[in-house]
Amino acid sequence: MNSSVKLSEQITSLEPLTWADIDLKALEHNWLQLKKLASANMAYNAGIMPVIKADAYGHGMVPVAKVLSEGGCRFFAVSNPQEGAALREAGFKQKILLFESTLPEDAEFIVAHQLTPTVCNLDLARKLDDVGKNLNQEIPIHIKVDTGMGRLGVSEEEALGFVQEIQNKYKFLQLEGIYTHFPLADTDRDFTFAQMRRFRDIVFAMENHFITFTYVHAGNSMGLGDYKSELFNLARPGLMLYGLYPLEALKTKVQLHPVMSIKSKIIFVKTIKKGHGISYGHTFKAKQDTTIAVLPIGYSNGYMRSLSNQAFILIHGLRCPVVGRVTMNQIIVDVSTLALSAKLPSVGEEAVVIGHQKDQSISCDEVANWAGTISYEIVCSIGSRLPRSYLR
């Protein structure tokens, strides 16, 4: 037992070779900027409900929630009951909305942990009402209406009847909130404004039947940053909280700081002879003698295989290309330019995958573009699979 404990301590003491730096001061800055953005639109009088699902987009849900809580945050939005329960276990008392329409058998768990469910089917409503009845307790719920996402949510045509049935049949359910989601806010303003008008009409129709909600929301990061409406009183940004922009044009409206940086240490350096192939499939062949460095990050860490022969890494403040296929645990970087300038890197030196080094930087958006995806996927994939260092 003692030797096992000692081995465990030795393993824990090893420094990671690849890691994510999470800048909590940048997070604080972004939170303040988003609050200013919301206050500029007076309709957002209920405040901001930051989205911290998917382990806060790979940044670490509990440390992020702690910073936001210290900054006066009164709401959190997560995906499922497990995430909500983790926040409760960590001691957070804020209102927590579950975005997913959960299974009826989860109703007791949801209520026990004081989570607010999204309801868009009557089976879940019925079970939640039964739990409320047994406890003699009102259960707050939010209704999701599908106005164009084509995913979760009661249809526009059925929304009024659905809510009326809940109001009439399930006396232990409190209609606290109603919301929808924008699928094209960054690409089709006409469609998004049409969504907003139709959703407004649904909410007004309910008010005509004396059905009102404390919270009406639809504004994700793009919605908060680029769409104003007197209807929505609660904003729910996610991406911008982490210093990333859903649209480049928003940089003129709000100044954000990236929260996540990805760093690695060089584990091997050698020279490949002209004509020799590199990595699986030899998709890269050296056109001349080439000095390469190996970094311990690969697709098992969320660094996507699609970045093969596409991406760059910062070493000594210079951009060095990733050559050959990304492998499970390693990538290969051409550092010949550094060798020519007598700055050949050595084992143990730091390389930057995402972030700043000297006067150069590689942004998450750049990496996403090289990979043919979006910044959401990059931070969620890499950040959630690496050890994180929290800086403040």
Q: Out of 44, 53, 144, 376, pick the active-site residue.
A: 53
The DSSP string of 299-313 is GGGT--GGGTTT-EE
Q: How far apart are CA 100 and CA 301, in angstroms?
A: 26
**53 is known as an active-site residue:** yes
Q: Out of 25, 280, 343, 358, pick the active-site residue.
A: 280
Contact 205, 243 (CB under 8 A): no
Q: Is residue 86 classed exposed, middle or buried when 0-12, 13-18 and 19+ CB atoms within 10 A define those classes?
A: middle
Residues 97, 176, 56, CA angle at the centre, nearest 5°?
A: 15
The structure tokens listed for 102 are 């959960």
Q: Name the CA dihedral angle for 89, 92, 97, 103, rounded to a multiple of 10 degrees.
A: 10
**280 is known as an active-site residue:** yes
Q: Among all chains, which residue has been given the structure tokens 């030196």?
A: 349
Q: How far apart are CA 320 and CA 244, in angstroms?
A: 24
Element of type H or E holding 48: strand 47-48
Closest Cα to residue 206, out of 166, 152, 146, 149? Answer: 166
Q: How far apart are CA 302 and CA 288, in angstroms?
A: 31
The structure tokens listed for 301 are 């860490």
**What's the start-to-end Cα distance of the chain, in Å?**
37
- Cβ neighbors of 322 (< 8 A, separation 6 or more) are 307, 308, 309, 310, 311, 312, 313, 331, 332, 333, 334
Sign (positive or negative) of CA dihedral 141, 142, 144, 145: positive
The catalytic residues are: 53, 280
